Amino acid sequence: QLQLQESGPGLVKPSETLSLTCTVSGGSIGTSNDYWGWIRQPPGKGLEWIGCIYFTGNTYYNPSLKSRVTISVDTSKNQFSLRLTSVTAADTAIYYCARQPLDYWGQGTLVTVSS
């Protein structure tokens, strides 16, 4: 059974960089024919697709976030990561990782942007 688990700081200061990692178990990123993605959900609001990555490093990003987002992959650790720069309070959200086409999801991790 494929499982994904997000990890990273729960509190980030404004203007700093948000960094999260997703660890995949029960399957291998390096041998999968799937993309791996990040989605976020501000408290009490809807879902927003952030972007995704293939094991080769090929990425697709939400155009509205593209200037601030980087998704990377480490196949040796079976992990992929999200970096979001210059964060503001509007980036406060539950961040989920998932296998694209978003069939398997992590439980999500709340990241709060506050000084």
Partner 1 sequence: QTVVTQEPSLTVSPGGTVTLTCASTTGAVTIDYFPNWFQQKPGQAPRALIYSTSNKHSWTPARFSGSLLGGKAALTLSGVQPEDEAEYYCLLYYGGGQPNWVFGGGTKLTVL
Task: Work out whether strand 59-61 and strand 69-74 pair parallel, antiparallel, or are unpaired.
Answer: unpaired
Task: Work out whether strand 109-113 and strand 11-12 pair parallel, antiparallel, or are unpaired.
Answer: parallel
25 lines the binding site for partner 1 (CB under 8 A): no
- Secondary structure letter of residue 79 according to DSSP: E
DSSP 27-44: S-TTT-SSEEEEEEE-TT
C-alpha 95/C-alpha 93 separation (Å) is 6
**Minimum CB distance to partner 1 smaller for 16 or for 42:** 42
Determine the interface stretch with partner 1 among 22-30, 73-81, 82-90, 106-114 (rule: CB under 8 A).
106-114
Q: Give the nearest distance from C-beta 77 to partner 1 in angstroms.
A: 22
Determine the interface stretch with partner 1 among 17-25, 71-79, 82-90, 100-108 (rule: CB under 8 A).
100-108
Q: Which of 21, 68, 85, 102 binds partner 1 (CB under 8 A)?
A: 102
- Secondary structure letter of residue 88 according to DSSP: -
Q: Which of 33, 43, 63, 114 binds partner 1 (CB under 8 A)?
A: 63
Q: Which residues are near partner 1 by CB under 8 A?
A: 39, 46-49, 60, 62-64, 96, 101-108
